[in-house]
Amino acid sequence: MKIKILIPLFNDWQSTSKLIDEINQLQAISNFEISIVIINDASNHDRLNEEKSLENIKSIKILNMKKNQGHARCIATGLKYIYEKEDFDFVIPMDGDGEDRPEEIDEFIKQIENANGRPIVGIRVRRSEGLLFQICYKIHKLITYTFTGKSIKFGNFTCLPKTTVKKMINEKSTWNSFSGSLSKIEDNLFSISSVRGTRYFGPSKMSFYNLIKHSLSIISVFRKTFLIRSALFIILYILFIKSNASIITSIPLVFLLIAVYAVSNLALRENMDEFDKALSNINDIEKIK
């Protein structure tokens, strides 16, 4: 069985190097053909030239991008490259900083047979961030469910069969939101429990701003449902506050209108023409193993 591990990377070579070492040490992968594809999102920091003994990893390729395109588009580009250029059975996209724990790859592989061809997703049961961030994350999930009807409890750390990868690269929303796109094209997902790890080096890159953008990007995939539910909310809310209208009671409407504007703009990122030409952004490909 051929498994590709897809790692988007921007200026975090030290963490990714440590991740590769830990993947190589996993017991379960010795029975499979494991290869790693790194999408270097136009990093401007030099990486360390290290010689490694990686007996359990067949190959490592680095796709160096010409220009920075962001996390979601790196994953989309990687999926397209792997589907069109590589021989594989499954793809496991994961962050390269340690927050997606490498030991959970073992569990993905163990559950492939039980999943029976379904995509396997890692449902976050515990996170490593502070209490305030975790509260905001729960609010994000609640808002997403309320306005889209989708309960999305996973990120890009998944195990995708080849059939799903094909669907993903033919779905324009993949160019904008990985988890939103996967939820859109696949109704029947197989899940495992996943614990959010801590970064190997440096602070987490998931800021409050990035969390808001991440949430709105997912919602933009289901924008028709979002717009309908937003319109119903506005009508019902106006009827509710009409006898007690004030600046304070109008605040939820203002936030919702801002969200509608932001979602509409983020939806413009779903550009199939750009997605189709994604591989043209590859400057060169390095084979380091």
Q: What is the pLDDT of residues 15-69, one digit of tens each?
A: 999 999 999 998 777 788 999 999 999 998 767 666 677 888 999 999 999 999 9
Lowest-pLDDT range of 165-179, 232-246, 268-282: 232-246
Q: What does the pLDDT read at residue 139? A: 83
Residue 142 lies inside a defined structural domain of this protein = yes
How large a percentage of the chain has pLDDT more than 70?
94
Q: How confident is the model at residue 127 (pLDDT cuts 50, 70, 90)?
A: low
Mean pLDDT of the chain, nearest integer? 90
Q: In what order do the strands lie in the sheet with 2-9?
A: 190-195, 120-126, 158-161, 90-93, 2-9, 33-40, 59-65, 282-287
Q: How confident is the model at residue 109 (pLDDT cuts 50, 70, 90)?
A: very high
Cα–Cα distance measured from residue 260 to residue 5, given in angstroms and rounded to the nearest whole number: 36
Q: What does the pLDDT read at residue 207? A: 66
Q: What does the pLDDT read at residue 257? A: 93
Average pLDDT over residues 215-221: 91
Q: What share of the chain is helix, strand, coil (3-state, %, to 5)?
A: 50, 20, 35
Average pLDDT over residues 212-240: 91
Residue 42 lies inside a defined structural domain of this protein = yes
Which amino acid appears at position 235 of this protein?
A: I
> Within a 10 A sphere around the Cβ of 59, how many other Cβ atoms?
15
Average pLDDT over residues 112-134: 82
Residue 289 lies inside a defined structural domain of this protein = no
Q: What does the pLDDT read at residue 138? A: 80
Q: What does the pLDDT read at residue 128? A: 59
Average pLDDT over residues 71-91: 97
pTM: 0.90
Average pLDDT over residues 76-99: 96
Cα–Cα distance measured from residue 44 to residue 170, given in angstroms and rounded to the nearest whole number: 31
Average pLDDT over residues 124-142: 73
Average pLDDT over residues 60-82: 96
Counting the structural domains of the chain, the total is 1
Lowest-pLDDT range of 32-36, 109-113, 213-217, 219-223: 213-217
Q: What does the pLDDT read at residue 133? A: 67
Average pLDDT over residues 167-179: 96
Q: How confident is the model at residue 244 (pLDDT cuts 50, 70, 90)?
A: confident
pLDDT of residue 206 exceeding 70:
no
Residue 201 lies inside a defined structural domain of this protein = yes
Cα–Cα distance measured from residue 271 to residue 73, given in angstroms and rounded to the nearest whole number: 11
pLDDT of residue 223 exceeding 80:
yes
3-state secondary structure 166-197: HHHHCCHHHHCCHHHHHHHHCCCCEEEEEEEC
Q: What does the pLDDT read at residue 134? A: 73
Residue 286 lies inside a defined structural domain of this protein = no
Residue 137 lies inside a defined structural domain of this protein = yes
> Which residue range(s) make up the domain with 96?
2-280
> Within a 10 A sphere around the Cβ of 106, how many other Cβ atoms?
13
| CA 201 and chain centroid, separation | 20
Cα–Cα distance measured from residue 135 to residue 127, given in angstroms and rounded to the nearest whole number: 11
Average pLDDT over residues 140-153: 86
Residue 288 lies inside a defined structural domain of this protein = no
pLDDT of residue 115 exceeding 90:
yes
> How does DSSP classify residue 74?
H
Cα–Cα distance measured from residue 222 to residue 106, given in angstroms and rounded to the nearest whole number: 32
> Within a 10 A sphere around the Cβ of 24, how many other Cβ atoms?
18
The domain spanning residue 27 has which CATH number?
3.90.550.10
- 3 state SS of 56: coil
